[in-house]
Every structure is written in structure tokens, then in C-alpha cells.
Chain A
Amino acid sequence: MSHQELWIAFSTIVRKEIRRFTRIWAQTLLPPAITMTLYFIIFGNLIGSRIGEMGGFNYMEFIVPGLIMMSVITNSYGNVVSSFFSTKFQRNIEELLVSPTPNWVILSGYVLGGVARGLAVGFIVTLLSLFFTKLQIHSFGVTIATVLMTSILFSLGGFINAVFANSFDDISIIPTFILTPLTYLGGVFYSIQLLPEFWQGVSQLNPILYMVNTFRYGILGVSDINVGFAFAVIVLFNVALFLVALKLLNMGKGIRQ
């Protein structure tokens, strides 16, 4: 395919993905808006006012970046895992398999679909947070780059999950048993400096910690960890997951007999 044709195929997939999550907005865009508003009210306002400072900021200011990131993560992942799994399940993946669209374009298209949903939800949550706190951005570049890379990473994760999933149950196992705990323990609600040294060390193994902290650095200018290192970790994960996902697609794992 020519460059122009590749671009058309890619944008067709992305448009289809965006059409999907906007069509079912009540299942995709509304729930995180409600949940996060509740977090802002309960943790930020009611409980936060009693907590005092965290990392040099009031508690509401501290958790807003983490909560934005948490919604980006769950929605990027959730979008690709359910979209690609149902594409597999309804067999309309065959529409792509018979076409000349190469696998890397298919993968990139689904990933950008996940990024679009992650960013859409991130944007909604950011707007909502403005009702509760003032948001000043310390470094626009770091903020955007982190949110993008994180969204790509979890879209890739969702894709790989969908490749291996054989039932609708299989697409909720990873989010429930891995993603949610890692997010809660990834420094969304607290600074890891509150933890005993041993648990600080363990927390360093949690990739989500790096993303939440880099993002928080972008907004507030403070981080529990070295931002450059965190960035390198995120990029490395992205490259690795992209290659794994592409390999699976090339093998036809779960989609071709």
C-alpha cells in the first residue's frame, strides 16, 4: 500500500474506534466523570481538608493529577480491550484480515482509538477538577508527553489482553486484579515518602508509580522519583509492548486458525 493508502486505512480504524466509544458514551464517558467527581468531593474536599498537606500541597491539589492519570489509564486500557475483543468475538476482525492493511497499521489504529478515549476522559476529568481546585501547569511538555505515553502503554496492554481473552470474563480479570491494585498503590492518593523504606523500594517496581509521578511533576513540579528515569522506563515499556502485540498479531494468535 502507498503512504496515502496506509494513512487512509489507519484513519478509518481510528474513526471507527472513536465512533464506537462516542456511540456508547453512557458506558464510556459518563461513568468516569461521575466516579471522579465523587473522588473529588469525598477524598479531596471532605477527607482532604482533614489530612492537611501532602508533598507540600493541599490534598486536593495533590490527588487531582493522580486521579486524572488513573482515569486515563483505565479508559485507554478498557477501550482497546473491549473493542478488540468484541471485534474478535463478532468476527468483524475478518474485515481487516482480508484487506491489505498491514498489521502494524491495525495495531496503531486500535491503540490510537484507546488514546483518544483516554485523552477524552482525561480532559473531562480535568475540566471537572477545575470546580474543586485551581490547576497550574508547571511544565506543559512533560504533562502532555506523559499522558500520551501512558495512554499508549495501557492501550497496548489492553490489546494484548484482548488477544488472549476467550470470554468476556477474561477481559475484566487483568483490570480487576492487576490494574486497579497497581493504580491504587501507584501513588495516586499518597506520596510514597509516607511509606516505610522497604515499601518504598517495593513501590519502585510498580510502573504506574512512574507515570503518576511524572505527570504530577508536569503539573505541580514535584515528584517522588527522578523524572528522566521515569520517562525512560515508560518509553521502554511502550516499545516492548508494541513489539509483543505486533508479534501476536502477525502470528494470528486468537484470530486465525
Chain B
Amino acid sequence: MATILEMRGITKEFPGVKALDTVNLSVEEGEIHALVGENGAGKSTLMKVLSGVYPHGSYSGDIVYDGEVQAFRNIADSERQGIIIIHQELALVPLLSIAENIFLGNERAERGIIDWRETNRRATELLARVGLAERPETRVDDIGLGKQQLVEIAKALSKNVRLLILDEPTSSLNETDSEKLLELLMEFRRKGITSILISHKLNEISKVADTITVLRDGSAVSRLDCSSGISEGDIIRDMVGRSLEDRYPPRAPEIGGVILEVRDWTVHHPIHADRKVVDGVSFNVRRGEVLGFAGLMGAGRTELAMSLFGRSWGRDISGQALIDGAPADLSTVRRAVNAGLAYATEDRKTYGLVLDDTIRRNVPLANLEAIADTMVVDRHKEAEVAERYRKRLAIKCSSIEQETVNLSGGNQQKVVLAKWLFADPDILILDEPTRGIDVGAKFEIYTVIRDLAMAGKAIIVISSEMPELLGITDRICVMNEGRLVGEMATAEASQERIMSTIIRSTGDRR
């Protein structure tokens, strides 16, 4: 096999931060090359250097692609060479159709006039190649995240991709969709397309990767060849610099009385008012308990949580919420917070952070009173608080004065968590709390969750990673198509049992 790409001695600095320090990366033609490392290790940055997001001259070192030193000035330059990157955050235009998105900036047109027949024909072809059976005229916001990811790949294919870069493509996909995507990558390998895959899901990596490069603190610390078989433990050791004995902290739950009880909660879609997105859900959670919510994407878990939390989602919300046995007023976010509720979102960019603001200003945002003396913010207390959470959650940054927009994905997630931990709720709802977070940091977050539960708080964890739910919860509620379809003690639960609960319930309403 020939070497298709060699990055030599890449160094990239931001003001105050050396994100990459003489990194070498070499990728063989036709392989799946995995890039792993802790949050903030520099994975995304390295790929942005490769794809011309950071233009030639803004970094030092050489990119040798196809045997030639390349000097990409922008993404268009690298795309012309067949290097296509799919970023951590998807970049589709939600109001345009699948076909329009695929050919955006690259329209099938003659003298500026779009040939729709050709567009749709080619789109159908590409969709078939990625195994998507949607009509090309379908609007992108009408299909799920998993399918959107496939549309991104179809878009890459339309540009004659030779080197496909995927930055955490499966972080917001459920297991079935992830599986499908990985299959597709393996099929591409058979066709000679090279891929670079960034992921924190090590089981996926060990399944599909041919070679793994591990980044730590901006340096490439090792290169593992997978042909001889490699264990997740080996990868972890290189990533964090020590071996991790357990994935989940040991727990000894002390479960008290019911603190939150929800009865017959029903929520309608904000636009399609006749659609019930949450349908008569009843559940309770006790002090000191960690309650998990399992389900597929679109099961209505986020919608349930957001509608409970100050009616932040949906319309025509009905049902009852009792806190400590008394009806609770959760009608606005403020009231919900005062009642002791908190909700840490899964969508950090849209709902979680004020991106242009610093860590220092984001952390106390939900609990400004605590750092203020009758309306006047005490900036020293504020800095102290931000500093405390930076240490506690090991947020990797140049200082608490760094703007959150410049943090790595996983570290942004930690800032959102910090914000809600500081609000000191009695009932904490965590929506995909470890999305995009590395193994080491996951363990720390699990420990935080455990300690909160030990302190008598109730924690609700919504997660699409079943092993995680099985590892850290006491009880699991299973949701499907907006309804609660099962509930089991974690001790008696298994992935199979959860899956079969979901499958059995699918469609039995119709």
C-alpha cells in the first residue's frame, strides 16, 4: 500500500495555546485511520489544518499528499484534491432539500441554470450508495440526525472523495445508525477510499480501524497497528498516559423518598400541533437515585425533559409534576430552577453556551445571585467559582478567560455541566452528559454524578449509550415513540432487554 498522506512536524498555535506541537501523521491509501485522544488533545485542529480551514502559513510543518507538498489556502483547495471533511457539527442547511444540500456550491447547472432532473437523478444515485432510501426532494430537517449524517457523506461522495475525514460522526447517533455508518466506511475501504475517523467510542475504533494514531496534549504519542489485534485498554493507556481499571466508579446507593413525581405528562409538537411527542408519561425519581432514560433518537426523551423544565419545548403541555408530594410550579425556567430543577442540554452550541463569552462568564449564568451582592456581581467570587469548576471537571483551556467558542467540543460540554452543577439543584436532568467526552473525563463525570447522588440529590440521565446507563444508574425507564414502554431496575437490565422492550413496543399503537 502506498502512503497517501503524510503530515510532518505540524505545529499550530493559538494565542496562549500550543494546540499542536510537531505532530506527525501518516496515512496509507485505502485504510481506515483512527485518530484518538482526550478532549482538547488537538484532533479537530489537526484535521482543520489538513483540510485548509487553517490555511497554509498559519501553521508550521508540511502536508505531503499524493507525493506532493500541499499549500491549501482554503477548503476549496483541499476539496479539489479529494480531501473532504465532515465536521463535528453538521453543516447542512435545514430548510433545503437533500438534493439541494448535496450539490450546494457544486450545483448541477448549465450556464447558471440548475438542471433539476439531473440533480435529482444524481442525488438518488448517491443516496443509494450510502444506503439511504429517502426521496431527494425531502427537506433535511424532516429526517433524523443519523440520516443527515449519511447525507453529509453522500455530499462528500459527490465531490469525488479520496480521503474522507469524519470528526466524531457517531457521537450523536444511536447504535443502529452508528453501526450503519461504520459498515459504510468499511465498504468505502473496499472501494479504495481512505478515511480518517475521530471518535471517543473506542469499541467502534477497535472494530473498524486499521491504524490508530493517539494524540495527547498536542503531540502524537503513538501509532498502533491493528492488524495484530488491539484492545481498548491499550488505546486508553496511550490516550491518558495510565491504564484505567474501571470504566465506572463503584457505587453504594442510598435511596431515599420520592422527590419528583410526574403524572401523565403529554406534550404536543410546537408546529404540528396534532402530533403528540410525549404521550402520557408517568415516572418518579427518588433522592439519592440515578434514573436513566433509554431509547432511540426521537423517542421523546429530550422533549420530555425540556417541557418539564420551564415548558421550554412544545405546546399544549398537560400533566402533573409533584415535588416532595406537592404540586410544583414549573411553568417558567426561573420557577423550575427555584423548585430545584436543572437541565443540562445535549445541544451545547444552541442551548448551552454563550459562545462569545468566556468560561468565567458562562459558568455562573444560571445562578448569578450566588455570586452577586444585591445585584452587583462580585467578580472575584465569579473567578473563584469558574476556577473551582475548571479544576473539578478538568476543563482544558488556556485560562478561565478563554472564550468558550474556542474550546474543544468535549470541553464545551464540561462548561455546560459546570453551569448546572453550580446552580446546585436537587433534581438534575443530564441530557447526553458524556457526548463527545473522552474516556478519562467520562469517568470523572460519572464520579461527579455518583457523588451528587450520594449527597441526596436525584439525577436523571438521558443517554443513548446503553453501557453507560447500565454502568451508572439504579433504574432505567425506556421510552419509544413518545411513550414510556418499560421500566426496570438496572440490576436486572441488559442491553438486549432494553432493545427488545423498544422493538416490541414499536408500532403497536397503530
A, B: real partners: no
